Structure 1
Amino acid sequence: MTAGGGTGQLPRTPLLDWSSFAGSRRLPGVHSIDDIADNCLTTSGRAAIYLALLQLRLSPGSLVLIPSYHCPTMVAPVILAGLRVAYFGIRADGLPQLGTIDAATAGRAKAMLVSHYFGLARSLREVRQWCDARQIALIEDCAHCYFGSAGERPVGTWGDFATASLSKFFPVPEGGVLASAMRPIVSPHLTPQGLRAELKAWADVLESAVTFGRLAGTRWLLAGLFALKNRIHRTRAAQPLEESTAPPDMMLACDMARIKRTPASTAVALQKLLPRGRIIARRRANYAAYARHFRQIEGAFPLYPHLADDAVPYVFPLWVNDADRVYHSLRALALPVFRWDRIWPDTPVLADDVGPSWSQHVLQLLCHQDLSEADVARTALATLALLSSEGQTPAGGAGQK
């Protein structure tokens, strides 16, 4: 049976299964956000960014530096906190292109958000020194990078604050982490979840698992719980939103309404209970499998074909020349791939910035622990078939190898 449990689809997020509880608690030499002693759990990575900004106690309207290559959920917390955004470019290695920040902007900036893209952490020594020289607080965005080392330091320990996402690495419906190796975290005032939300969160985890063929032998037992969850869901009159790049619509799509709530108990419990060894090993194996499939191909190339010894990837980033055609075809096949093509509308075009080309050409192929070797092969072979099919129109700029 495929990972879709007969649905034909592949899971886009980790799934709870009996195997989730197997394996070592952690792997020697692989650091984790968990290792940072001063931390608190949040409902999401974007909630963690928002709470990090509140910890800094910035004056209203203060300037925050954001990378040009971003998910809208990196910008929305800044705006919600009553702060202003300025953008910087990124280099081919994913680090900030500091030369794209003029002196006047740097002089006004009070904070800077820097991401470890794709789960492949980089040293932030240069960025840390640049921020210190200008008294700019550094927020280390580890949404893609729960594990590993960022050069000379463990991931999450370069920033004044670090933020991370649980749901990208664990089989939980929500969850984020705010951590700091440099500053004490003032306990945020978060509103507890209601009983209805708690029940729905547990039901969501279990229903996703059963839908994709996990937790064998439990379908009959859980049928009543799923029915309760679906009744709760139907009481909410939310209508699906069409994608839009207008700032109010993008803000709404970022779902910032729950950032001041405590995370669901299912996220707290599973984050504490589940071993890390399988998560780490399976993600590395899936990344390596993608690298083998895309070793030598026409019309595409891996941004980073090799993993560092302790890197634990979130996705496999693949540059594709004819990206629109390939991406939309893969999405139509319900394969686990996405791209960051919805950037905030006022993002400028900056010299020597790879951000705009990445937004267009870099496909992010998920490689989480609950995709099997066969699932990875299915996604890779579908991509290769599209790359070799007629109608390919290379888009140029295939440069950052």
Structure 2
Amino acid sequence: MIMEEVLEVAANRPVASMPWPTFGSLLSYSQRPLPHPFSSPGMTLWTSARIALWQAIRSLDLKSGDRVAVPAFCCGSELEPFLIAGLELSFFAVGEDLAPDPTSFRKAIDGSSAAMVTHYFGLPVDLEPALEMTRRKGIPLIEDCAHALYTTRAGEQVGLAGDAAIYSFWKTVALPDGGALHMRKGTEKGAPKPPPPELIRKATRHLLSRTLRSHPSAILRKTEGMRQQLRRGAGSIQLREKGGDEWHLIKFPNELIGAGMSSRSLRIFRATDHAHVRERRRHNYIRLQEALAEIPGIVPLVPHLPDGACPLYFPVVVEEAARLRRALAAEAVGVKHIWPYFHAAVPWERFPREHHWKEKAIGFPVHQSLREEDIERLIDVVKRWSGR
């Protein structure tokens, strides 16, 4: 019975929601220069964006009891470094364009010692009003660019306008780990130390498994499927919808404070064709945007792909989001339920739009590992789900 389930799942190459590495990239020892701006003097490399954010808090001299203005539309994991540091949070709304709502932002920074804004899903937002208000107040502005590794606005990499910026490498490129902190002024406090070797080995095994499960060879997919099934036990091959209290927040990893980016991830990142990653993500996003434009019940979170954007996903709002996710999962098409966890620190009753997005927003994959037939399969499943 287990064998039959594995073979059935492995019959179609899964459309993964995240990119996977090639075997060659995992063995790469490239020493090519890092792309701009990640080789600049103000940049330090860390094991994740959350660890980079922790370092930003220290470098900006934020103290326990200080208040920080943050967006209510959030994953929740980015709030943890502030809370672990003993900081208070003041929340603001975002507009339909995902930029900070000026009125709400102005109220949130009143009495705050710093503010953070987010470039959601790799889509650059207009930060000029927020920059003007924080500079008038004399407080630093942190740019959360965890989704926006290769995104530019007006020809400049996002994250360089604020006082600090954090980036995540592994969300966009298939790496075991990796993040960065950019400080516009001042000195980063503390040098990175090597991350735990077992953490990198485990993450590498996970990436290798993702590569095998998405490989064109049905034999390799079946073999890896059987290995995963036997390791986890009978019945775990079924894709199940999480709901209610099954969702949980990945807590802040205190044991990784100070951990830098691993040498393995750095080698893979150096070998990456960064222009190709950006071009393929834009191509796939536009392909989905055009194909799904007339599908009833699916509304893009942003109507058009902005110039300079390197999208993380194609984010849409779907009233019947759970039903669509089940339809996609049944045909091994990966999709992200965007931020299903409602962090207890956020007063959600004050932010109905953000609450609605958290419930109904999903992200279709647009990553660089997808082939044209993967995109066509995703579109076909969505159209059949919609009744077309």
TM beyond 0.5: yes
Q: Name the CA distance, whole Å, in 2 between partners of 1:243 and 1:297.
A: 25
What corresponds to 2:376 in structure 1?
A: 377
Q: For structure 1, which runs of at least 5 residues remain unmatched after alignment?
A: 231-241, 390-401
Question: Which amino acid letter does the alignment assign opposite residue 295 of structure 1?
Answer: A
Q: Find the aligned partners of 1:352 and 1:202 in 2 and give their Cα distance.
A: 39
1:155 maps to which residue?
158
Candidates 259, 269, 272, aligned match of 1:271: 269
Whether 1:61 aligns to 2:65 is yes
Which residue number corresponds to residue 88 of structure 1?
92
Tell me by how many angstroms 1:95 deviates.
0.4
CA distance in structure 1 between the aligned counterparts of 2:352 and 2:55, rounded to whole angstroms:
29
In the alignment, what sits opposite 1:119? 122
CA–CA distance in 2 between the matches of 1:45 and 1:73?
A: 10
Equivalent residue pairs, number: 357
**Match for 1:192 among 191, 194, 209?**
194
Matches within 5 A, 1:224-235: none
Q: CA deviation at 1:334?
A: 4.2
In the alignment, residue 59 of structure 1 is paired with which amino acid?
A: K
Deviations, residues 326-375 of structure 1 (Å, cap 9, x unaligned)? 23443454432221221312322476863222212221112110011221
SS of 2:375's equivalent? helix
Partner Cα distance (2:105, 2:93) in 1: 8
SS at structure 1 position matched to 2:181? strand
Equivalent residue in structure 2 for 1:313, among 295, 300, 311:
311
Give yes or no for the alignment of 1:144 onto 2:142: no
C-alpha change, 1:348 and 1:200, in structure 2 (3 Å) is: closer
CA distance in 2, matches of 1:370, 1:354: 33
Q: What is the alpha-carbon distance in structure 2 between the residues aligned to residue 75 and residue 245 of structure 1?
A: 20
C-alpha deviation, 1:274, in angstroms: 1.6
User: Following the alignment from structure 2 to structure 1, what is the Cα–Cα distance between the partners of residues 179 and 11?
Assistant: 31
Matched, 1:13 2:18: yes
Mark the CA change 1:9 to 1:75 in structure 2 (over 3 Å): closer, same or farther. same
Task: Tell me if the contact between 2:113 and 2:139 (Cα under 8 Å) persists in the aligned partners.
Answer: yes
Q: List gaps (5 residues or longer) in structure 2.
A: 1-8, 232-241
Query: Structure 2 CA distance, aligned partners of 1:97 and 1:204?
Result: 39
Q: Give the ranges of 4+ consecutive aligned residues of structure 1 lying more than 6 Å apart after TM superposition.
A: 18-21, 242-247, 350-353
Letter in 2 for 1:57: D
The residue that corresponds to 2:296 in the other structure is 298
Measured in 1, the distance between the counterparts of 2:270 and 2:341 equals: 34
Paired residue secondary structure (1:109): coil
Q: 1:323 to 1:246 in 2, by over 3 A?
A: closer
Q: For the residues of structure 2 that align with 1:136 and 1:350, how far apart are their CA atoms? A: 28
State which of 30, 38, 41 in structure 1 corresponds to 2:42.
Answer: 38
Distance 1:199 1:96 in 2: 39
The answer as to whether partners of 2:45 and 2:192 remain within 8 angstroms in 1 is no
Q: What do you get for the CA RMSD once the two structures are aligned?
A: 3.4
